[in-house]
Structure 1
């Protein structure tokens, strides 16, 4: 079976640091794949908070993850300090992709590449919503809003 190949941008607009905890380690004695998804979630939350948003309030709507891809490149272990570089790409009228490059700081080695597809969601109405203009303004000012 062919491996997933994620094409990531050359420039990321945000980065944050997270340290691998003992609770993140699996039976293989390295960072578990399920825990990586949780760390990506934390990095996305930090990105949103940096832009004065939360997952439930981005211009009056929230966001919902529609898909996720993680491609592991190397192992990570307890106490590794990881840099999560975060960007946004591939807008459509209802959402976009958050992309991530995870690097082990001490070894300057890529641990994983990832993407989470999201849609904006009106939780009160239980329906998807268009990308809020304020999201473009704060997070992607150089991107032309998608209307079709």
Structure 2
């Protein structure tokens, strides 16, 4: 089977830094793949908070991860400071992709991971998917606001 590749943009709308703790390290003495997914989750949550949202309240609607791709290009170790660049792209009626570029400051900002999480907006009270809330476009992708109203 061919390797998965991601083509991500050079520009992202948000960045946050997370240090690698001993709890992220696996038996190979580097950040484990499962722990990287948790770090991506933290970065996504910080992105949402920066825009005044939580995972269960984006204009009264929550979100749910529908797919995930993580492409590792380098290791990272205890004490490394990672920069998570985060953006949103590839919108449809019910969701979009969160995209990530993770760089290691301890290694001259070397690329460690490229990733994406596909999300759908979800009404947890009704237990069904929901349209992307207008307020999400307004705060996170205002350049797409006109398209969303069409």
TM-score by length of 2: 0.96
Partner of 2:51: 51
Residue 4 of structure 1, CA deviation: 0.7
| Structure 1: runs of 5 or more not aligned | none
Residue by residue, what CA displacement relative to the aligned partner does 1:48-93 show, whole Å, maximum 9, x if unpaired?
0000000000001000000000000000000100000000000000
More helix by proportion, 1 or 2?
A: 2
The residue number in structure 2 matching 1:109 is: 110
Matches within 5 A, 1:121-132: 121-132=122-133
Whole-Å separation in 2 of the counterparts to 1:44 and 1:5? 21
Large movers: runs of 4+ above 2 Å? 144-148
Which digits, 9 at most, give the CA deviation of each residue in 1:86-138, with x for residues without a partner?
00000000000000000001212000000000000000000000000000000
TM-score (norm 1): 0.97
Cα distance in 2 for residues equivalent to 1:61 and 1:145: 20
Q: Report deviation, 1:147.
A: 6.4
Task: Tell me whether 1:34 sits opposite 2:34 in the alignment.
Answer: yes
Cα RMSD after superposing both structures: 1.1
Aligned pairs (5 A) from 1:13-24? 13-24=13-24
Q: How many matched pairs? A: 148
Unaligned residue ranges in structure 2 (runs of 5+): none
